[in-house]
Structure 1
């Protein structure tokens, strides 16, 4: 399997060498502001009444707001993988990655930052990574050079949460090194508590399973009660690195400062910044000044913090005098989740399933994160480019996986065959020049959940659960039934069969771009 991946990577490199850039290509700066678990209904411009988001709303008013914009998957690592590579994560076996995962993106493949760098841009990432680090599972020495990682897949600089804020290690990584790490307190990360307890000479942290009283800041219901850092249980085990630990409450400020520093860096090159915040992912610990700004507990308050961060990025671009020369994309990696492992007061439904807070983070769409239903991938998607994108609302079907092919078109770069093979050029839809969007689209969710969208029709493939239960296929007309409540399999058996056949062909094919 690994040999096949290497061979594929070599083909990508040889293909990438054939790419050409035209002198006539436009080169606007590009900033992607990427939320974590932000739902369609969490933004005022998309209908939220209980979370004030004036900065994001202004971005929507000045840009193009998509009503049918999607991440490629209903979970974090797969959607990030697809956006950066232009390849559906299920093709390469990428799912939610654990604390010891190796780099999931091949260093030989074309990526979104490599595309920009080839066009003469300087590229940077600030925030959540969650695509693995190091050569292989469990092989990384956190006390040396932390690589391969973002720098090896096309970013010139990086300041990372290496995994995510609910997983160890709870440290920042700048470029190749853990920030503020004391060599006398070596950092060790493992899936095994037994192995961590064998580590000598490094700080030992409480285990939340045997010492639940240590989780005195934020309780957890399940899974995330391994290592306790700052009174919060995390997924996975770590020892050492005490001097390098992040502060959860200042994380939002730190990431904004690092993003601003990248933007202000002197250069005669245009820039591409992937600003990948931790908001509003659990554990939610917004800065104290945001606590109590909503009636929706820490989840709502963290969304207010994210709106502030968005405003800070927009203000920086204006202060630099480049706001009109910059494409800003605002979106999320997947749909919303409420009290996910942590008991933070954001529980959304009462015991009989009634909405009890007056706020549905998915809007009118069904479910959210992890789910194959529409709320899993239909997320806020706003694109602003003054003078080039007419402000308004677009119903075009668009997907983040298509950023590579679309920006390649803008930059006048031809993608070689086999490169970013699921990414299609939808530049005209992204720029508001066309309402057509995608003719069809695959949706991906947990546990082999797969669906096909063709217009307003949505087919969800049958599957077998881990426990062996069979879940039959479903068919919905989203135009009449946005909540996906009325399964039309019996009413339209021929349409269902045709869509099932098409989905199977697309999943087994060499790439969606070659199947139109």
Structure 2
């Protein structure tokens, strides 16, 4: 009888430990991904079965945004939960070495303090000197590169700013770029000779991290440089899209397919390790697809949105956004209220039961009660943007925006000035997601009210750098 009682008590203890387990957290970030290039976003020419499966298991945020118009600012906001304009010398619109202010605490630091093992696989782009190294910013493990880009295969030409035929300056001819954007992969603080296709290597390392830490709560920041330039893929991958006539799009498709495959390998490992239901997964892009030469054109597709990476139009800041947590969130669900990448930190901390206790209140919001329909209101009354003299504010269905005027001409070449802005323009995004019909003249009071709100927000931010 005692043996039976002991067995029952043991089983109950195991169940209690399982019930109390903190969820694993995975944040997956794509780089320069087009809004409509994935199957769950309506894309048809690139197979993305694994991300489609993640969308089917989780929830899609149809009005999902990032806080920046390009790589570094978005990443600074994502890892702090704060509008990145709040910190750094210039509000992270320009910081020396793109370094994340040492006064700020990252999501990784908060989770590690709560007992999580933390890992970064992929692109960092938040400072390359020793004090800014990922393992000084909360990550136990690091495999990837420190700067804003990297060759996908060693020693290939590095065309960071291709034209629509894929031609352009080879950055290998620049000594700094050749030294820092090629054969610059690190494991921890040591250089490694990585010869695999880089997206596949990041998938391999993500799988390894999950497998090795499946018995304890972990945070994995899986930060791809796909589909950022240089446009590079293996011959085998490119051959899959041989029928695509556009030479840049052909490689873009191959790069996107490879990223989806790498993500699938990580998701499969969750299942193999028996921790799929214990894992909260976020997927997002760091900004919209670059449609302009100045921002590293890659033939991405942002339709039905207008604009590009580098602009405050929807095509620059509205991105694919998924959140999956089996058993906790509605599978195949759709959330239509505006949400932003800043919410990832707040949501992850809440899921982990971690007290935020930041130096200042987070700008991000815990989305779980909204996604679970416990709260009926919208998580944000307003969202704000500021980038390189451009601005935007979203309030309900309405958006007030001012952006680089050259965008209306359809091209902005590298080296061309971007200091001439459009007038303030007003759009109703529910009726006009493509931002085609400017309603500013018809709604002057709304324009004035929204501009006043944006200016009040802006007074709380760091002063931007001189243009």
TM-score for the superposition, normalised by structure 2:
0.79
**Residue 491 of structure 1: how far off its partner (Å):** 0.4
Contact 1:398–1:429, Cα closer than 8 Å, also in 2: no
Q: Could you say which residue in structure 2 is the equivalent of 1:489?
A: 440
Q: How does 1:70-469 map to 2 (within 5 A)?
A: 70-92=65-87, 93-95=90-92, 101=97, 103-106=99-102, 108-134=103-129, 146-166=130-150, 215=157, 220=162, 225=169, 227-228=171-172, 236=177, 238=179, 250-266=197-213, 268-294=215-241, 295=244, 296-338=249-291, 340=293, 347=299, 361-391=301-331, 392-416=333-357, 418-419=359-360, 421-431=362-372, 433-434=374-375, 436-444=377-385, 446-461=387-402, 469=420
How many matched pairs?
417
Alpha-carbon distance in structure 2 between the residues aligned to 1:469 and 1:50: 36
**1:452-488 Cα distance to aligned partner (Å, 9 max, x none):** 1111100114789956635311111011111111111
Find the partner of 1:35 among 8, 30, 35: 30
Q: 1:395 to 1:104 in 2, by over 3 A?
A: same
For structure 1, the residue ranges without an aligned partner over 5 or more in a row are 1-23, 135-145, 172-204, 206-213, 348-359, 512-516
Q: 1:422 to 1:457 in 2, by over 3 A?
A: same
**1:49-103 Cα distance to aligned partner (Å, 9 max, x none):** 11111111111111111101111112110000000012222233255779x8163
2:197 is paired with a residue whose SS is: helix
**Residue 326 of structure 1: how far off its partner (Å):** 0.6
Say which structure is richer in helix: 2
Contact 1:457–1:475, Cα closer than 8 Å, also in 2: yes
2:132 is paired with a residue whose SS is: coil
**Residue 446 of structure 1: how far off its partner (Å):** 3.9
Q: 1:82 to 1:303 in 2, by over 3 A?
A: same
Over aligned residues, Cα RMSD in angstroms?
3.5
For structure 2, the residue ranges without an aligned partner over 5 or more in a row are 1-18, 185-190, 407-416, 463-467
Contact 1:332–1:379, Cα closer than 8 Å, also in 2: yes
Find the partner of 2:427 among 476, 487, 490: 476
Q: 1:383 to 1:272 in 2, by over 3 A?
A: same
**Residue 401 of structure 1: how far off its partner (Å):** 0.6
Contact 1:376–1:445, Cα closer than 8 Å, also in 2: no
TM-score for the superposition, normalised by structure 1:
0.72
Q: 1:433 to 1:306 in 2, by over 3 A?
A: farther
